[in-house]
Amino acid sequence: MSDVSFVRVNGTSSGPIAINLKCGAYVGCTNIQLQLVHIIPAVKTKTVVASCVNAHGTAVDTFPNVTAAQA
């Protein structure tokens, strides 16, 4: 997968991983862009995280935080 943008995405997550980008080990994903993506926990007392594997690109203003090295 390459050249994909997620822009102005808002929502809730019932699980601990709110943003999950999992790409193949040999090819991976390139030029993935996340901008203004905010996924909060469905239950306010819980926390959420982002998980990215072999996904490369940019992330601006995301919650949970996605580091540039990940996405």
Give tens-digit pLDDT for 12-30.
999 999 999 999 999 899 9
Mean pLDDT along residues 27-41: 95
CB 51 within 8 A of CB 34: no
71: in domain:
no
Look at residue 18 and tell me if it is in a domain.
Answer: yes
- The number of domains in the chain is 1
Residue 20 lies in a domain: yes
C-alpha dist (Å) from residue 38 to 24, 25, 41, 62, 70: 25, 27, 10, 6, 17
Residue 14 belongs to some domain of the structure? yes
Query: Quick one: pLDDT band at residue 1, thresholds 50, 70, 90?
Result: confident
Residue 14 backbone dihedrals phi, psi, to 5 degrees: -85, -15
Residue 71 pLDDT exceeds 60: no
Q: Identify whether 26 is part of a domain.
A: yes
Q: What is the pLDDT of residue 67?
A: 81
- 58: containing domain: 2-63
pLDDT at residue 31 is higher than 90: yes
